[in-house]
Amino acid sequence: MSNVYTIAVVVGSLRKESINRKVAKALADLAPANLKLNIVEIGDLPLYNEDIDGASPPAAYSTFRQQVSSSDAVLFVTPEYNRSVPAPLKNAIDVGSRPYGKSAWNDKPGAVISVSPGAIGGFGANHHLRQSMVFLNVPCMQQPEAYLGGAGSAFDEAGKLSDAVKPFLQSFINAYGQWVEQHKKM
């Protein structure tokens, strides 16, 4: 692994102290040497509206698109809301996919980890997100699948990652490093 790849990390939860954000930061700390993870914020994106996305799109749209476009790959860390992805994440996907034919997501090696305090670890959100990625030509890593259930106990009160969860996240991010390396060499 000789190259260092910049990864746009999109966190589906807007809360500053969300479990998903903590997992994203933990993954950045655990990342192999070939990955540099950067969280790309989605909270300031206006709801996607083609009427305002003309010759002078909102600055937040342009900034977001540039951050994703300039990255080598994308990693989604998302909770599950009502068996799907949170609205801000879906909005970010839509903003990044426009204008038609100029998607910021195109051909970026991707991965999804869903994080939930519930037992099934955000299975519905994980798979709904993968459906969008197929259309957007984001080749998503298939294995290992990553569903972190019971995530409320993934960190202690001081914010330290649990020793029980660390090997799972390490295995996931190592596999993703290999996935990005393989895809970028194609």
The residues with which 8 forms a beta bridge, in sequence order, are 38, 74
Could you report the per-residue pLDDT of 106-150, keeping only the tens digit for each?
999 999 999 998 888 899 999 999 999 999 999 999 999 999 999
Chain CA centroid to CA 44, Å: 17
Looking at residue 159, what is its pLDDT?
A: 87
Looking at residue 1, what is its pLDDT?
A: 45
For residues 84 and 124, is the Cβ–Cβ distance under 8 A? yes
Looking at residue 180, what is its pLDDT?
A: 97
Domains of the chain are 5-185 (3.40.50.360)
Looking at residue 2, what is its pLDDT?
A: 66
For tokens 């090696």, name the residue.
109
Q: With a cut of 50, which residues of the chain have pLDDT below it? A: 1
Looking at residue 186, what is its pLDDT?
A: 62
